[in-house]
Amino acid sequence: MGGIKRIVLILTAVMLMLVVDAGAGKDRIYNNVSGERRNLLANGLGVTPPMGWNSWNHFGCNINESTIRETADAIISTGLAKLGYKYVNIDDCWAESTRDKQGNFVAKKSTFPSGIKALADYVHNKGLKLGIYTDSGSMTCSKKMPGSLGYEEQDAKTFASWGIDYLKYDNCYNEGIKPTVRYPIMTKALMNAGRPIFFSLCEWGDMHPALWASKVGNSWRTTNDIKDTWLSMMYIADMNEVYADYARPGGWNDPDMLEVGNGGMTNDEYIVHFSIWAISKAPLLIGCDVRDVSKETFNILTNREVIAVNQDRLGVQAKKVRMEGDLEVWAGPLSGYRVVVLLVNRGPATSLMTAHWDDIGLHPNTTVMARDLWLHKVLRERPVGNLSATVASHACKMFVLRPVS
Ligand SMILES: *[C@@H]1O[C@H](CO)[C@@H](O)[C@H](O)[C@H]1NC(C)=O
Ligand SMILES: *[C@@H]1O[C@H](CO)[C@@H](O)[C@H](O)[C@H]1NC(C)=O
Ligand SMILES: *[C@@H]1O[C@H](CO)[C@@H](O)[C@H](O)[C@H]1NC(C)=O
Ligand SMILES: *[C@@H]1O[C@H](CO)[C@@H](O)[C@H](O)[C@H]1NC(C)=O
């Protein structure tokens, strides 16, 4: 190769690199939610659904730094952390109602006198992560603290400087500005803040965030707030199921936090709640007081096999594949050609339920090993073509099927 040709080649290569680089810069600057461009949010978080705890469902606004610290202690001492529950998330009401002279958030002096940074250090020392909450409007939903609208860059930097790992971003007092405009501003602010922060959009499903939020956040609420009742929980499960195709590693549908252990449902109903959240690849954020859990609650939250389904690396959300009145078969694929099946009885009477292979993505001739994840037992017979089980009212059966021939 001649010297001139070589120089031309090198120059061409350099120019190509420059062009590619300029293109990348443009993408960052001009990215928008309607354009099919690069992900706004490339923080590498949420490869599996997040697991942890949040203060809201049990404590509401009645929180302080000792409660949060004791919760972190309990997450360790009960063994929940070892099972994957890592995020300790503070919800609404942690800040003073006004910002300081520089416009910074100030932790509420009467309840968080040591400040949020100290709390972050405390939970980090235990190997846990700290989450916080603000709002994409002028105030949070409690009206007790300011929102971040207009302060996105500043607040993201504050959170990063405190060592925050997770942000729940609510939708109150939004001044009628569309979420597709408000949320990406915080996405960019978080990307510029210098610390990977899991971004949890709490947009209540208003504008079908599953359709646009995979580029904006690591999870997006698909529904209104959950209540600690069977009807609310199942209603939310139904709404969230519609968007199953949009969940994937890095971006998850969020049907809201768990109510398991808060007392409004029966033990069987809480088992259904936890099972549906697990197969739906929902964030598993405990919503009860983990310093004081019953044995029944503990057994639900610590079911390793059910957690493993939620954390399966395939990251595919299960769907309802068959409904006959109140009897529903939910199923979804898992890694290793396995299938998870959940038989849910929403009716008033104990019923025999059947999952048919052609409904759950298995060839009808496939023989499987079926493991019951709540009895922790492999069924003695190896089913072919279908699997039947008796399911009590407001209860479920959960199986993982592993093809053997
Ligand atoms: C968003 O991106 C698309 C595709 O790149 C472009 O056509 C559109 O004009 C952009 N919209 C805005 C508001 O920037
Ligand atoms: C924190 O809140 C709990 C109850 O919610 C209360 O018992 C406790 O005294 C409070 N601690 C502080 C330091 O305010
Ligand atoms: C399924 O099994 C039946 C009965 O053993 C057999 O007749 C049929 O050919 C099989 N079908 C396939 C596609 O393997
Ligand atoms: C389930 O499959 C078996 C054959 O393996 C068949 O005899 C039975 O009728 C099927 N049950 C239902 C409810 O379809």
DSSP symbols for 32-43: -SSS--S-S---
pLDDT band at 42 (very low <50, low <70, confident <90, very high): confident
Dist. CA 59 → ligand 4 center (Å): 49
With a Cβ cut-off of 6 Å, ligand 1 is lined by 32, 34-35, 37
Q: How far is CA 331 from CA 275, 281, 355, 398, in A?
A: 11, 12, 9, 10
pLDDT in tens, 315-334: 999 999 999 999 999 999 99
Long-range interactions of 322-326: CB distance < 8 A, separation 24+: 322/355, 322/356, 322/359, 326/351
Protein residue with least CA distance to atom 14, ligand 1: 32
Candidates 386, 401, 405: which one to mutate for ligand 4, based on the most atoms within 8 Å of Cβ?
386
Burial of 3 (0-12, 13-18, 19+ CB in 10 A): exposed
Give the least confident one: 7-21, 234-248, 257-271, 331-345.
7-21
Residue 9: the pLDDT is 55
Catalytic residue, from 27, 73, 225, 326: name it: 225
pLDDT in tens, 339-389: 999 999 999 999 999 999 999 999 999 999 999 999 999 999 999 999 999
Q: Which residue has the higher pLDDT, 372 or 39?
A: 372
pLDDT band at 6 (very low <50, low <70, confident <90, very high): low
Residue 65: the pLDDT is 98
Q: Where do the H-state alpha helices sit in 165-316?
A: 179-191, 230-241, 267-279, 295-301, 304-310
Residue 2: the pLDDT is 54
Instruction: Indicate if 135 belongs to the active site.
Output: no
Dist. CA 371 → ligand 4 center (Å): 19
Residue 18: is its pLDDT beyond 50?
no
Dist. CA 328 → ligand 3 center (Å): 28
Residue 78: the pLDDT is 97
Instruction: Indicate if 225 belongs to the active site.
Output: yes
CA 321 to chain centre: 23
Dist. CA 40 → ligand 1 center (Å): 14
pLDDT in tens, 273-312: 999 999 999 999 999 999 999 999 999 999 999 999 999 9
Residue 32: the pLDDT is 43
The mean pLDDT of the chain is: 93
In ligand 4, the atom with minimum distance to the C-alpha of 386 is: 1
Pair of tokens at residue 294: 């019953």
Residue 1: the pLDDT is 47
Mean pLDDT of 99-112: 98
pLDDT in tens, 154-207: 999 999 999 999 999 999 999 999 999 999 999 999 999 999 999 999 999 999
Candidates 56, 61, 63, 67: which one to mutate for ligand 2, based on the most atoms within 8 Å of Cβ?
67
- How many residues belong to the chain? 405
Residue 36: the pLDDT is 44
Protein residue with least CA distance to atom 1, ligand 2: 64
Catalytic residue, from 91, 170, 228, 312: name it: 170
Beta bridge partners of 131: 89, 166
pLDDT band at 223 (very low <50, low <70, confident <90, very high): very high
Pair of tokens at residue 154: 């500043």
- Residue 131 · residue 168 · CB < 8 Å: yes
Protein residue with least CA distance to atom 7, ligand 1: 35
Nearest CA-CA partner of 195 in 168, 151, 169, 157? 157
Provide, rounded to the nearest whole percent, the portion of the chain with pLDDT above 90.
89
Dist. CA 386 → ligand 4 center (Å): 6
